[in-house]
Chain A
Amino acid sequence: MSILVVLLSLAAGAYALAVIERWAVHGHLSLTGPAWAALALMGRESLLARKSDRLFFELGPVLLLVAGLMAVAVIPLAPELIITDLATGALFLNAALAYVLVALIMAGWGPNGAYAMIAGWRFLGQFIAYAMLIVMPITAVAMRAESLSTVEIVASQAQLWNVLYQPMGFVLFVVAAMGLAWLPPLDLPDATGELAGGVEAEYTGVRLAVLRLARMVIILALAGATVTFYLGGWLGPWLPAWAWSAIKILVVAAAMLSVGRYMPRIREARYLALSWKLGISLALANIFVVGVIALVVPI
């Protein structure tokens, strides 16, 4: 039952994000736009690039979708509303999202096009830049909750949300999440003005629809993770638990989707330098600070 509810809300969320993304990219807000676009994509020729690596080309978008769905499985929308409350939920989320990299490299390599291939390699090059900054803040969150279960993590924030308890971790996690979901200004693997769509450049028709859907699911999963780890998940007064989750997740996702509209894309080299040198040091410092606080003032 809860699986069905989660999946339905996922579909609704993905649609809402498509509406927001359309606004962020094309500047017009249209509630029916994504529905028409999806229907139109169904009828379009679904091209297979010549000399493509068929297996990688076909599997890339599907694997991306699977990775996103697996990550969603451990996001609690309410205490009982979760597909599976794994004891190692936070770790599982990270493991599921590791396949985003694999999927993107496959999607980049598959079509045998230069733009897509460079885009795929670019994402590979950024791997440490975002992956460390996903894992290390999660470590600090788990330290406070004394559990890797996502439900426990939300419950641990009853007194004080983690966004206030460990703000540095929050900032690092959100930035890394945007890098992982290749959202502007960290959208190096699809970079419209540099790679003409990058990994998406060779996909058309139904395959493109799957790729777009998969990306929305990834963004939702990451927004869900942000809310779970830092914004108190379903916690909140007056409204029912699921409503708080939905509101928070949509607000976080909308912010992640639209912030890139107001700044240029980061340079690849700067992104790597900042993530490695500054990001990882700060993440270590965060673990240390959270450790000290957890020992001294247990809340």
Chain B
Amino acid sequence: MTIAGAQEGAMYGIRRAVAAAMARDLTAFVLPGPSVARSMGIDLANAHLRLVGTPRHANLLIVVGPLPPGLRDAAAVTYAQMPRPRAILALGAGDIAPLPDADVSAPLTRAGLRSGLADLRRVIAAGAFRADTGEFNAPALEVRVEYTCPMHPEIIRDAPGDCPKCGMTLVPRETASDGHGGHGGHDMPREDRPNPADHAHAGHAQDAGGSGAYTCPMHPEVISDAPGKCPKCGMNLAKAEEVESHGHGHGHGHGHASHAPSAHGDHAGQDDKAGGSGAYTCPMHPEVISDAPGKCPKCGMNLVKAEEVESHGPGPGHGHGGHGGHGKQQDHSGHDGHAGHGGHSKAAIDGIEPHFMSMVEMTKDQPRSSDGLQMDWIKVPFGPFFPGLPAGLRLTLTLDGDTVAASDATSLVGATDLMDGPQMRVADFVERLATMMPLSPVSYRALACAAIEVAAGVEPDHDARRARAAAVERERIASHLNWLAEFGLQSGFLWLAARAGALQLAVQGADVAGIATQAGAIRRLSRRVQAAPLMRMRLRRIARIGKDAPASGPVELARGGGSDARTGDPTLKDLGFEMRVRNGGDALARLRQRCDEIAQSLDLIAAAGRIAVPQVPDVDRVSGEGEARIETPRGTASLRVKLANGKVVEADLDTPTDVNIALVETVTAQQELGDALSAVASLDLSPWEVRG
């Protein structure tokens, strides 16, 4: 009995003790995430294991519930990042390929978790080591080698050859067959880590200069017809050609960051055509030109023959800088930045240290930050399984230093069709919609029922409506507590993470009496969160959104105004509902808004007196169309359905996350990394809801 991901080695002596220790000390990474697990009623906090934030520190991968197809490749990457011995526990997960078969499978219940973990401990204690271990392979892990021209990055071929544009030999480059992994930047154990050659910029210097014009050596975008000073830095403008031919070399060095170092030899030759008249010039100040050797009047460096500067453009100065710097920092796909040095150092120029690095040359053609500095930009993927971000959301941040220069948020869960065929039975449709949204199943069940009732023209009775409203309110409390727990995890407020998570599990399936017993604890938690030290400092003025940006739910109400689908509902009015709004529109206002809503929902549930999950309406061969709106925990969702002969034949859903996900770019722009992540978290996105 061994586990699939056993560590190599015979099972004897001390290894038995180590295996026993591993079985005792389970460190788990949860897929899709702890928040989804809690929504499904799985209490991992009390399962005698430690949840960790990176697969590198885990020896157990727990898959909770069915894994959406869009997340499976990322799951395989996550598994590959775990050190051996590694085990998989699948709780009601079904098909998890390309992950290997689970070492232990159990049903998705608390009892299932208990027995599954007990089995797993036995398996690990007995089989953490094995003499022959196989490699884990999955299509998502494959690295494809493609060939590209160092001069023309748009040329990409599957086989080696020459560039059709310039005839240069194409150079190999590694690329992932899938563009994105779970935790980007993590290298995989043994297997080569795929990673997109993420280039924030493909700056080629030759684009910069205009013909015959004057331009600033520091700011290539500054172009003038006459000589003068640069409006940005005050330097003297230089003839564009000069800058251009000089920058050319740099352009290469820069472009090389993504290419194999072998290509550099080719370059030096290429650039010879740019050779000048044999004058002397300063390697740092191309505008200094002299007929005789000497010192640069600006920096005192020895002047060098102009040809040398140009032909060795990508040489010691730039090339080295370009490689040392870029290969490492900018391009995390893991090109060896150091391998490139050897070849260059030979081409030493008089007066320049062989390893001289010029920041000016290195960064000249890179895009500028908002503060005017030029830094290396790196593109870092966060998610889809990043602790503190919504599970299933892939957030790609282009970082300029530690400031976000650009962001992209995509749901990897993927929208599933609302209908599984041309027509569906009403009960199946309701069930399908509820299971599609694991983070708020009750709300979507209520929404489906309401839309069908409108379409069929049936009215549930007063009591049923109240009980249904109470069920949605209960889910709102649970969902907001879940958000608080996730926020606690992200911001390192671990007491909050533990407490809110426990309360969520307690509230989730509770009846009115059960909620009443927790109400005091929930209100205390909500007060304590808002009063916690550093909380205001952490969230105030973070992720502000304007009055006119489209938003939904607490995000919208927290900036003063907006709409709540509950306002028009007579049932809720009857229960004493009043729309709560807050001014601010920042992450702090959103936190307070959610805390307010929790308190209000507690009151509404107490007023309703009964909680019942909505029952599928009885529609008997009716035809018709109807639309319903409901305020889910994340905002207003609306559903249109068309019934024909008592079957659902058409359905169309709008969700709040579809609206709010568009805000990611606004709220992360020019934010420090930590602030940007809090900003994204403050939107409470559900990747399962993304349909557009």
Contacts and interface: CB of A to CB of B under 8 A. Distances in A.
B674 interface: yes
A268 B492 contact: no
B474 interface: no
Interface in B147-187: 183-187
Contacts of A188: 674
A114 B402 contact: no
A234 interface: no
A50 B334 contact: yes
B301 interface: no
B493 interface: yes
Nearest to B339: A51
B532 A264 contact: yes
A40 B124 CA distance: 11
A47 B56 contact: yes
Given A46-B83, A192-B53, A40 B59 contact: yes
A121 B535 contact: no
> Among A43, A203, A263, which residue has the most Cβ atoms of chain B within 10 A?
A43
A220 interface: no
Given A193-B677, A268-B674, A185 B494 contact: no
Given A37-B25, A51-B334, A184-B492, A263 B534 contact: yes
Contact of A196 (B25, B54, B335, B488): B54
B402 A50 contact: no
A159 B39 CA distance: 58
B115 interface: no
Contacts of B495: 261-262
B483 interface: no
A50 B188 contact: yes
Given A193-B53, A265-B491, A52 B673 contact: no
A212 to B, nearest CB: 10
A277 interface: no
A262 B187 contact: no
A196 B386 contact: yes
Nearest to A39: B21
Nearest to B379: A114
B57 A208 contact: yes
Contacts of A122: 402
Interface stretch (B12-20, B265-273, B420-428): B12-20
A25 to B, nearest CB: 6
A276 to B, nearest CB: 16
A263 to B, nearest CB: 5
Interface residues of A, number: 63
A268 B83 contact: no
Contact of B84 (A44, A191, A194): A44
B242 interface: no
A197 interface: yes
A270 B532 CA distance: 16
A202 B185 CA distance: 10
Nearest to A25: B494
Contact of B7 (A27, A43, A192): A43
Given A40-B18, A40-B59, A43-B21, A265 B672 contact: no
B83 A192 contact: no
A51 B189 CA distance: 12
Contact of B332 (A112, A195, A197): A112
Interface string B486-506: 001111111110100000000
Interface in B521-567: 532-535, 537-538
A192 B189 CA distance: 21
B518 to A, nearest CB: 19
B224 interface: no
A263 B186 contact: no
Contacts of B226: none
A192 B489 contact: yes
B192 to A, nearest CB: 6
Contacts of B24: 36, 40
A115 interface: yes
A118 interface: yes
Contacts of B401: 121
Contact of B57 (A46, A191, A197, A269): A197
B88 interface: no
Contacts of B672: 267-269
B334 A193 contact: no
A14 interface: no
B56 A203 contact: yes
B496 to A, nearest CB: 8
A253 to B, nearest CB: 18
Contacts of B538: 264-267
A287 to B, nearest CB: 27
Contacts of A45: 7, 83-85, 189
Interface in A107-147: 109, 111-118, 121-122, 125
Given A118-B402, A262-B493, A264-B538, A40 B22 contact: yes
B25 A40 contact: yes
> Among B17, B184, B402, B493, which residue has the most Cβ atoms of chain A within 10 A?
B493
A269 B676 CA distance: 13
Contacts of B85: 43-45
A264 B493 contact: yes
A116 B185 CA distance: 9
> Among B51, B83, B488, which residue has the most Cβ atoms of chain A within 10 A?
B83
Interface in B102-148: 128-129
5 contacts: A26-B50, A37-B21, A50-B188, A111-B187, A115-B380
Of all A-B residue pairs in the complex, the 6 with the closest CB atoms, nearest first, are A193-B388, A193-B490, A43-B18, A114-B185, A264-B491, A39-B21
Given A40-B25, A43-B22, A45-B83, 8 more contacts: A26-B50, A51-B187, A112-B187, A112-B328, A184-B492, A196-B183, A197-B54, A264-B538
Interface of A: 22, 24-28, 33, 36-37, 39-40, 42-47, 49-53, 109, 111-118, 121-122, 125, 184-185, 187-188, 191-197, 200-205, 208, 260-270
Interface of B: 7, 15, 17-19, 21-22, 24-25, 27, 45, 48, 50-54, 56-57, 59, 83-85, 128-129, 183-189, 192-193, 328-329, 332, 334-336, 378, 380, 386-388, 399, 401-402, 488-496, 498, 532-535, 537-538, 672-675, 677
